[in-house]
Amino acid sequence: MDLDLEELIPQPASVKSDVLTLSFPNGCTVTLTVDSAVGCGGNYWPAGEVLATYLAHRGGLNGSKVLELGSGTGLVGLVAAKLGAEVLITDQLPLLNTMEKNIRLNELSGSVTALELNWGGPLPDIPLSGVSLLLAADCVYFEPAFPLLVRTLEELCRPNTEVLFCYKKRRKADKRFFSFLKKKFTWTQVLDDPGREIYCRQNITLLRLKLKPRLE
């Protein structure tokens, strides 16, 4: 049976296609095309906004190389680029056009690249040793993809890679994702976020993941 992701998770209130201007701490502003016609990834979601806000609050990304998984519109990665990082935003093929449009809207073609990346599939041909920060927001929603997401996180990580993972708890099935995740990662909650008290009440959690040592 084919599963429709839009039946599994609630859709945010938005028109089919629109252009939004979003403001974040420290004067960071992003112009964003949202388009529900390409599926749930064409909208922006609460955990993505939380992670983008945290990055803007923290700052300090000049010269960093950043990769975002499940980028959708590219919001989180675009904020990272506004903070001075070189960014790879990745998602499935139907989202590439939306991501590329948003790169152009924000005049970030020199610092952001959109790539197709299917969880569990081959990785793009990129120098992973240079990626210092891995980002993922609102990626816990489709249960069959849970082990694929963990596999891709593991393959992208190096011992010194910082991983920021933000998610909104929606269903009891989400616990299964963490049963897969704990086989490969440990994690702690990010505590230095001034918005934490607010978004925790919305069942949103921001985590810092650490790859467990690989057994020889």
In a domain, 184, yes or no: yes
The pLDDT, as a whole number, for residue 12 is 47
Q: Is 18 annotated as a binding residue?
A: no
In a domain, 31, yes or no: yes
Q: What is the dihedral of CA 95, 119, 180, 127, to 10 degrees?
A: -110
Residue 69's nearest CA partner among 91, 36, 98 is 91
In a domain, 3, yes or no: no
Q: Which two tokens stand for residue 149?
A: 């997401």
C-alpha–C-alpha distance, residues 165 and 208, integer Å? 6
In a domain, 2, yes or no: no
> What is the domain count for the chain?
1
In a domain, 165, yes or no: yes
The enclosing domain of 87 has a CATH number of 3.40.50.150
The pLDDT, as a whole number, for residue 173 is 77
In a domain, 53, yes or no: yes
In a domain, 1, yes or no: no
Q: Is 72 annotated as a binding residue?
A: yes
The C-alpha angle 25, 27, 30, rounded to 5 degrees, equals 90
Q: Splitting the chain (216 residues) into consecutive groups of 10 residues, what average pLDDT does each group show?
A: 35 62 94 79 83 95 95 96 96 94 97 95 84 94 90 92 93 88 96 92 94 78
Domain that holds residue 186: 14-211
Instruction: For 156-205, give the DSSP string.
Output: H--TT-EEEEEEE---TTHHHHHHHHTTTEEEEE----TTHHHHHTTTEE
Q: Is 109 annotated as a binding residue?
A: no
The pLDDT, as a whole number, for residue 3 is 31
Q: Is 137 annotated as a binding residue?
A: yes
Instruction: Mention every residue, 6+ apart, whose C-beta is less than 8 A from residue 77.
Output: 66, 68, 71, 87, 88, 89, 112, 135
Predicted TM-score (pTM) of this structure: 0.89
The pLDDT, as a whole number, for residue 124 is 85
In a domain, 4, yes or no: no
Q: Is 187 annotated as a binding residue?
A: no
The pLDDT, as a whole number, for residue 172 is 79
Q: Is 119 annotated as a binding residue?
A: yes
Q: How far is CA 13 from CA 16, 40, 44, 46, 166, in A?
A: 10, 12, 10, 12, 20
The pLDDT, as a whole number, for residue 8 is 34
In the block, which residue shows the tokens 């420290």?
26
Q: Is 45 annotated as a binding residue?
A: yes
